[in-house]
A and B are shown apart, each in its own frame.
Chain A
Amino acid sequence: MAGAAPLVALARRAADSDIFYSFRRSPMTVAAAAMTLVFIVGAVFAPWLAPHDPFESVTVELLDAFTPPVWDARGDPRFLIGTDDQGRDVLSVIMYGSRISLMVGFAAVIFSMVLGVSLGVVSGYAGGFTDAVIMRLADVKLTLPGILVALMVDGIARAAMPRELHDALAIYVVIFAIGISGWPQYARVTRGATMVEKNKEYVAAARVIGLHPVTIMFRHVLPNVMGPVLVLATLGLALAIIAEATLSFLGVGVPATTPSLGTLIRIGNSFLFSGEWWITLFPSLALVLLALSVNLLGDWLRDALNPKLR
């Protein structure tokens, strides 16, 4: 059992930490974390956990289309919250849809984080002209609403690429479009923190022993400015998930063959008037719960990592 001992010690240390204490003390945060976990597990393990495979044409019956949820008299116990216009189980498509939504969300956040943090560290460390150029770019970007930039990028990609190529790359275009509009926040925060850090002794020491500026920036300064970046990334994840859903709802996001939550809401929206409310309202509920939970987690993280608010 020698291997387990450090793990136990680590777990005990984590359980004793301030952050975990503030986590336990806030029931809202615990609930939000649990909900986020449910979504992530449900999305990642959708092929094993989902009651049906909505994309397997053998098991999907058109006869089952428009089955209401089970509590309705016309419901079917096989489909807990009903089926859509093609007879697919709504719960299953939501699980598969969250997969796309979360994937695009995470990828977009990582993209804008890597871009923003790199530019921010360089900007803060180099100063002068480089700094001025990068920050002007960030200002210009910040005055334009993100969703507008994402739409423009998507439109340009559509105009510049042949249709088949665009359809094949649609998901990457969406990731790029959302990611590119998020970087200035990361750049600003990292720049500010870097400017504080670079005057400290350990940076001077690293410079004295002759390390390359790039090594100093990314191996020495960067780890010390990651706290606020982590908060931004969590809040950014909720924004990115909503942005993806919005683009897909507007019909310019991921293609209908790999529906995300936004695509599901868009498809279901046309059945709202004929009374099939569950096709659109359950994916909407899932989206709102997901965004709200991630937002609450981000809020908590911001307060927990900010020593002034303790």
Chain B
Amino acid sequence: MLAYVIQRLLQAVGVMLAVGLIAFAMFNYIGDPVNNMVGQEASQADRAELRQQLGLNAPFPMQFARFVANALSGDFGMSLRMQRPVAHLIAERLPATLELVFASAILALAFGVPLGVFTGIKRHSWVSRVILTVSLVGVSLPTFVIGILLIYVFAVLLGMLPSFGRGEVVKLGWWSTGLLTKAGWLAIVMPAITLSLFQTTLILRLVRAEMLEVMRTDFIKFARARGLPERAINFGHALKNTLVPVITIVGLNIGGLIAFSIITETVFQWPGLGALFIQAVQFADVPVMAAYLVLVAAMFVLVNLAVDLLYYLVDPRLRGERAVAGGGH
């Protein structure tokens, strides 16, 4: 187990170094960083001095090592457009995005798993068919169209929910949360639904397919023969055995949630990382783009690591196989 964890950690570090290299290359070779910092009137000598000061004359591995060291201490340089440290911008925007992503993930699980179990067990009921058809339409709707439709119905026509921003936020240290005020809760409803819809359908279909598979196995028939109540069979036996693939897909899709949060944040003018990133792309603000790339990669790697470790908790067979393989040879 320990060897496995260490191996996975080393892999994670390797991936992060590779992403760091890409970010560093972007940062240093797209446009001249010195040009980006000084004004038009700076002389050749000033530029050369700044170049020396910034260490841009050092050999490549040295520069990369410094970039990694800076990144580890949270220093990603200055935003070209806003003239503020990138780390501050990100720290400001991070809470909004994380709250949105968490709210959507919880919504997706809270609806996707039960609906998947239901459509898996009551396969031929018309309710299941309706749910599946609706979910197919949901997959074909682009995220931003869903957002626009929600805004039109609930903000413009009915005037029930706010269409932009986070409502009222409360500061808890450096973290700003919208989850402590009523306005904040109202504001997160539509963005969270928009972001979760695709994931919900994905989880629903996956859980349904896995349930259909598991319900055919012998141990379920045996559980029936023992006269266990339906509830215990469906949730205690069947659902438990669908969890490994579900965890994998949900974990891998946290990345999808982060990527699609860019779209959702733009539609609802949600002041998060995605909105910051889109502005950076529009204005070619390379340091912000590089930092976003590193940050998203870090989240990916962490989630993947967590998923791999969760397998051990969920599926005892994996522990057994490893032990046998390790001990037998």
Does B97 have its Cβ within 8 Å of any Cβ on chain A? Answer: no
B interface residues, tally (CB under 8 Å): 37
- C-alpha gap A250/B148 in the complex (Å): 13
- C-alpha gap A148/B257 in the complex (Å): 11
- C-alpha gap A291/B139 in the complex (Å): 10
| Count class of interface residues, chain A | 35 or more
Q: Which of A145, A158, A238, A287 contacts B284 (CB 8 A)?
A: A158
Q: Report whether B252 and A251 are in contact in the complex, using a CB–CB cutoff of 8 Å.
A: no
- C-alpha gap A72/B255 in the complex (Å): 45
- C-alpha gap A151/B284 in the complex (Å): 11
Chain B residues near A272 (CB-CB < 8 A): 148, 151-152, 156
Chain B residues near A8 (CB-CB < 8 A): none
Does B223 have its Cβ within 8 Å of any Cβ on chain A? Answer: no
Q: What 4 pairs across the A-B complex have the smallest Cβ distances?
A: A145-B259, A155-B281, A159-B284, A148-B259
Residue of B nearest to A166 (CB): B284
Chain A residues near B252 (CB-CB < 8 A): 143
Q: Report whether A159 and B263 are in contact in the complex, using a CB–CB cutoff of 8 Å.
A: no
Q: Report whether B145 and A155 are in contact in the complex, using a CB–CB cutoff of 8 Å.
A: no
Does A211 have its Cβ within 8 Å of any Cβ on chain B? Answer: no
Given known A-B contacts A143-B300, A158-B281, A250-B278, A288 and B142 have beta carbons under 8 A apart? yes
Chain B residues near A160 (CB-CB < 8 A): 30-31
Among A18-26, A59-67, A277-285, the stretch that binds chain B is A277-285
* Count of A-B contacts judged by CB separation below 8 Å: 94
Q: Report whether A152 and B293 are in contact in the complex, using a CB–CB cutoff of 8 Å.
A: yes
Q: Report whether A273 and B156 are in contact in the complex, using a CB–CB cutoff of 8 Å.
A: yes
Q: Report whether A265 and B144 are in contact in the complex, using a CB–CB cutoff of 8 Å.
A: yes
Given known A-B contacts A148-B296, A272-B151, A287 and B145 have beta carbons under 8 A apart? yes
Q: Mark A266-301, 1 if CB is under 8 A from B, else 0.
A: 000100110101001100100110011001000000
A181–chain B nearest beta-carbon distance, Å: 11
Q: Which of B26, B145, B156, B296 contacts A156 (CB 8 A)?
A: B26
Main secondary structure of the interface of A (DSSP, over half): helix
Does B76 have its Cβ within 8 Å of any Cβ on chain A? Answer: no
Residue of B nearest to A153 (CB): B281
Does B282 have its Cβ within 8 Å of any Cβ on chain A? Answer: yes
Does B40 have its Cβ within 8 Å of any Cβ on chain A? Answer: no
- C-alpha gap A265/B146 in the complex (Å): 12
Q: Report whether A249 and B144 are in contact in the complex, using a CB–CB cutoff of 8 Å.
A: yes
Q: Report whether B145 and A152 are in contact in the complex, using a CB–CB cutoff of 8 Å.
A: no
Q: Which of B154-212 contact A (CB under 8 A)?
A: 155-156, 163
Knowing that A159-B286, A287-B142 touch, tell me 11 more A-B residue pairs with CB under 8 angstroms: A147-B259, A152-B289, A154-B281, A159-B26, A159-B289, A246-B143, A249-B144, A273-B163, A277-B152, A277-B156, A292-B137
Chain B residues near A159 (CB-CB < 8 A): 26, 30-31, 284, 286, 289
Residue of B nearest to A163 (CB): B284
Q: Report whether B30 and A145 are in contact in the complex, using a CB–CB cutoff of 8 Å.
A: no
Given known A-B contacts A152-B293, A245-B142, A246-B142, A147 and B263 have beta carbons under 8 A apart? yes
- C-alpha gap A152/B252 in the complex (Å): 20
Q: Mark B245-269, 1 if CB is under 8 A from A, else 0.
A: 0000000100110111011001000
Q: Report whether A143 and B286 are in contact in the complex, using a CB–CB cutoff of 8 Å.
A: no
Does B318 have its Cβ within 8 Å of any Cβ on chain A? Answer: no
Q: Report whether A151 and B281 are in contact in the complex, using a CB–CB cutoff of 8 Å.
A: yes
Q: Report whether A269 and B286 are in contact in the complex, using a CB–CB cutoff of 8 Å.
A: no
Q: Report whether B149 and A284 are in contact in the complex, using a CB–CB cutoff of 8 Å.
A: yes
B52–chain A nearest beta-carbon distance, Å: 24
- C-alpha gap A158/B280 in the complex (Å): 10
Chain A residues near B144 (CB-CB < 8 A): 245-246, 249, 265
Given known A-B contacts A147-B262, A252-B278, A252-B281, A242 and B30 have beta carbons under 8 A apart? no
Q: Report whether B152 and A155 are in contact in the complex, using a CB–CB cutoff of 8 Å.
A: no
Q: Which of A67-92 contact B (CB under 8 A)?
A: none
Q: Which of B152, B155, B262 contacts A281 (CB 8 A)?
A: B152
B263–chain A nearest beta-carbon distance, Å: 6
Residue of A nearest to B31 (CB): A159
A59–chain B nearest beta-carbon distance, Å: 29
Residue of A nearest to B30 (CB): A159
> What are 8 pairs between A and B in contact, CB < 8 Å?
A145-B256, A145-B260, A148-B259, A155-B280, A159-B289, A238-B140, A272-B151, A275-B156
